Structure 1
Amino acid sequence: MRVVLGALWMIATTLMAAPAPLHFSVSDSWAMPMVHLEGGIPTQGILYDVMVSLATQVGRPAQFQVLARARLANAMSHGEIDVRCYVAQAWLYDVPGDYTWSVPLMVQRTVLISTEPEPIQVDRLLPQAVGTVLNYRYPLLDPLFADGRLSRDDARSEEQVLQKLVAGRYAYALSNEWILDRFNQQLPIARRLHNVAVIEEQHLGCIVRNDPSVPVQQILRTLLRMKQSGEIDAIIQLYTGQTAPSVSPDR
């Protein structure tokens, strides 16, 4: 009996001593090089590496919640997410007040893509459907969608948007520039897609839940150190082969 009680005490002590995990959100619409999902679990990618490194340096295990984009705001409001990365303030109009922004960590360019190489000005596009990601916001194009000059043709992920463009479902689509570059590597040169216009350039960071159970300031300091040391830029270069666009960490 004493042996059993002793074993139970040791298990309870171990569980009490184990640090609580950091809960990270992962959008199921992300694609490589941002994140690769295998069986619904993130296994590699820029954001995966950043989040795992952050959790390791803070001394917490990383736990990932893979959610549809439309469910992220609700999960945040219920305190189910401690850290949400790869966000811009222009994208989030419904962020709960109990989250704090990190410094900008990376620059993302949203580009207009076509099967044809000729550059184009977006305001000169004829009325037509454009490939977009379900529940994604495109602040600079929202007025064109609102007045009907352009319409959205939504897919669940950025990779699906590009697949539909290749299949001829529409003439133009919107995507992250890094995802476009990665997608093109899978195509024969003659069939590769073309960046025909830069739509917007966003400075992206993370938001951290303000709660006594979350080491908010340690997380924010660690993200700042990861940016200043060049760690985040090195992760981006590992997956893209490109030097990350410059972004000041104290912007």
Structure 2
Amino acid sequence: MRLAMGALLSISLNVFAAETPLRFAVSDSWAMPLVQLDHGRPTQGILYDVMLSLATQVGAPAEFHVLPRSRVQIAMEHNEIDVRCYVAQSWLPNLPDNYLWSVPLWTQPDLLVSRPVPPTEVIPASLPRQTIGTVLGYSYPTLQPLFDANQLLRDDARNQELVLEKLLAGRNQYAVSNQWTLDWFNQRLLPDRQLRSVAVLQEQSLGCFVRNDPDVPAQRILRTLVRMKMSGEIDDIIRLYFGAKP
């Protein structure tokens, strides 16, 4: 009987451990193709697919916490989140030692974008004083000295898609966008209306970081991300949204 009870307890503990969710941070400022939010819940997108596959391979259900960007780091510090993805180490230079970084998973340039004029490349420092479409809470190191000098002014929107919508509607002459969102946005526009990049502001390697805690299988998560990157799975997920284009 004692052996039977011990076996039953072991099975119960294993089931409990298997059902402990892996909690992912989702910024409410993300837009497609990163994440589609429907009624406050992610339903598709490159990051959604990557995080869901990661959780499945680790053997835990995925739990998505949709938060304002300003709340994400606070949630991590309060142990409310286990994994945060699509983040650069340069954004968080003072990250505590109880977090572990993954290998770089994506490279995304920040672009200065305009409507289908002008046809030539733009030097941001040479622009006259005007508003630039930006995402609320995002930092733009290349443009920050120009914002500080009041040469350029931020016109914040809640997410990246709204920034491009405002640009298309003529609210600003220029806006900042990552490459993925620009390409996704342009897919629904006729060629003569598509927004175009006029300057590369910066390019950074992005990955995930994981809370290093006994309750989180941190090393298994990091090893799984390496396999997903090296096997080409992550690039295959990107191709699902852009066809053959990586």
TM-score (normalizing by structure 2): 0.90
Is residue 24–residue 63 contact of structure 1 (8 Å, CA) maintained in 2? yes
Instruction: Find the counterpart in structure 2 of residue 125 from structure 1.
Output: 127
Give the count of matched residue pairs: 235
String of CA shifts for 1:30-64, please: whole Å, max 9, x gaps: 11111111111111111011001100110010000
Instruction: Find the counterpart in structure 2 of residue 162 from structure 1.
Output: 164
Q: CA deviation at 1:237?
A: 1.7
CA–CA separation in structure 2 for the residues paired with 1:240 and 1:142:
31
Matched, 1:86 2:86: yes
CA–CA separation in structure 2 for the residues paired with 1:213 and 1:170:
47
Q: CA deviation at 1:162?
A: 0.5
* 154-163 or 111-120, larger mean C-alpha shift: 111-120
Instruction: Find the counterpart in structure 2 of residue 103 from structure 1.
Output: 103
Instruction: Find the counterpart in structure 2 of residue 25 from structure 1.
Output: 25
Matched, 1:142 2:136: no
Aligned to 2:89, the other structure's residue is in SS state coil
Instruction: Find the counterpart in structure 1 of residue 3 from structure 2.
Output: none
CA–CA separation in structure 2 for the residues paired with 1:79 and 1:242:
39
Q: Counterpart amino acid of 2:201?
A: I
Instruction: Find the counterpart in structure 1 of residue 211 from structure 2.
Output: 209
Aligned to 1:144, the other structure's residue is in SS state helix
String of CA shifts for 1:204-243, please: whole Å, max 9, x gaps: 0000001100001111111011111111111112212354
Instruction: Find the counterpart in structure 2 of residue 4 from structure 1.
Output: none
TM-score (normalizing by structure 1): 0.88
Aligned to 1:131, the other structure's residue is in SS state strand
| Structure 1: runs of 5+ lacking an equivalent | 1-8, 245-251
String of CA shifts for 1:90-142, please: whole Å, max 9, x gaps: 22245344211100001111111101142211121112110000000112221
CA–CA separation in structure 1 for the residues paired with 2:53 and 2:239:
16
Q: Counterpart amino acid of 2:168?
A: V
Q: Counterpart amino acid of 1:207?
A: F
Instruction: Find the counterpart in structure 2 of residue 63 from structure 1.
Output: 63
Q: Counterpart amino acid of 2:180?
A: W
CA–CA separation in structure 2 for the residues paired with 1:134 and 1:242:
32
CA–CA separation in structure 2 for the residues paired with 1:242 and 1:128:
38
Is residue 114–residue 198 contact of structure 2 (8 Å, CA) maintained in 1? yes
Instruction: Find the counterpart in structure 2 of residue 153 from structure 1.
Output: 155
Percent identity reads 60
Matched, 1:37 2:47: no
Task: Decide whether aligned partners of structure 1 residues 132 and 242 sit closer, same or farther in structure 2, where only a CA change above 3 A counts.
Answer: farther
CA–CA separation in structure 2 for the residues paired with 1:96 and 1:102:
15
Q: CA deviation at 1:151?
A: 1.3
String of CA shifts for 1:121-177, please: whole Å, max 9, x gaps: 112111211000000011222122112121111000000000111111110000111
Is residue 33–residue 178 contact of structure 1 (8 Å, CA) maintained in 2? yes
Aligned to 2:90, the other structure's residue is in SS state coil
CA–CA separation in structure 2 for the residues paired with 1:173 and 1:225:
36
RMSD between aligned residues: 1.9
* 235-244 or 59-68, larger mean C-alpha shift: 235-244
